Structure 1
Amino acid sequence: MKRLFIIFLFTLLLATTIGIWSYSYFESHEEATIETSRIREYSTIPSESGMFERAGFAMEYANMPLDQEHQRKLKDYYDNRAFYGAPPTVPHPIEEGGIGSKACLKCHQNGGFVDKYQAYTPVTPHPDKSNCVQCHVRVKSNSFFVPSSWVSNTAPSTGNQALKGSPPIVPHSLQLRENCLSCHAGPSAVKEIRTTHPERINCRQCHVINEKKTVDIGTFKREIK
């Protein structure tokens, strides 16, 4: 009886050890977040690891010649969205069975020029998300959506700096957008928001997060007491 109790106790301790180790292991691989009470628009701020996912392409982007004839413009960027902040729609046909990461990432993981559309393929900032059409809907015709009373929100303007000469702020949330160089560098980047210095990959060192629009406050004067 004593022997069975010792065996049971040993088994219980072993199972507990394995359980605690597994929990710690998977917790260590989760995205780090910072709780904030100051910024009420989002409860957590993603860690900065996502900014460096395309860092290996930074120097290639910096040395890549600019294709003046095939630049994406901000108007086209927003026209392909139902509203500001919405995922872009899929503007091209999708072959049957060609849905999901294996099909979409052939073009959208690293981009490239597509002769059929005479355009550069936008690079996804979140290639780890495999069910693409869960957010990106297909537009089959102009009558695909029914009329509604929806009024679209206003997109922020470019050059939204806190002070003259300071770096532009980040006017959008970072959910699914942590990988800055996907949208702001390379030939598929939108002309108006393409970075001039992709080799400086630590973007949030200078560009702070703020979804509030800034307004001109005139000349700043420090009060002397």
Structure 2
Amino acid sequence: MLFFYSQDTRAAGTGRLDGSGDFVHLKDFPAGQFGRWTHIVPGGGQLFFYSKDTRAAGTGRLDAGGDFVNLKDFPAGQFGDWTHVLFAGGDLLARFFFYSRSTRAAGSGELDDGGGFNNLVDFPAGQFGDWSHVVFDGGASKLFFYSQSTRAAGTGRLDAGGDFVHLKGFPAGQFGNWSHIVPTSRRLFFYDRQTRAAASGELDGNGDFINLVDFPAGQFGNWTHIGATQDGLP
């Protein structure tokens, strides 16, 4: 299922791809029906909405016909001031990781089946590094942190209680200068918009990075957005 949203008009729509890759339109939601959200994150069959401007949030899900079912609304100020919000796995409940690049604080929480949010752990300012990218590699269930300015990186994971477990640190300059890092369920895809070079790699069970393929400058087009669909693998 695909969910489309306009921050400018607060309209939305849903659709899906059929077996041949054609687009099937499902629902349209008029302007103003949704809040003004800066982040919309899927996880555990639900959508988590967050506004960095107001620190409000909400949860919902899509039914089989693409209609939106609102679950919970969380008032302004209930959440922290986060620059990154991402799904971080979870066996029973959908777990989320929150990070602020400005304060280097973080937090974790999970959504129950009814869309309610349970706060798990708050990490104080300065506990994390200055990361430009934070992504979740679903295949290895690890978090990958990267700094475009220093080209350093690190890996970690959330335990069952939402606490952070540090795994590996990679020194400045070890990685390329990437503008995009896209998780693809089992691997990470790196892309530099300036040079149009790319690379692929994966994380092992210990959080170490395995480089796979380097693609030379100019091999890819000049892309502003890169997304990945789930491949059906666990």
TM-score bracket, normalised by the shorter chain, equals under 0.3
**Greater Rg, structure 1 or structure 2?**
1
TM-score normalised by length of structure 2: 0.21
Higher normalized strand content (fraction of residues): 2
TM-score normalised by length of structure 1: 0.21
Relative contact order, CA 8 A, sep 6+: which one is greater? 1
Higher normalized helix content (fraction of residues): 1
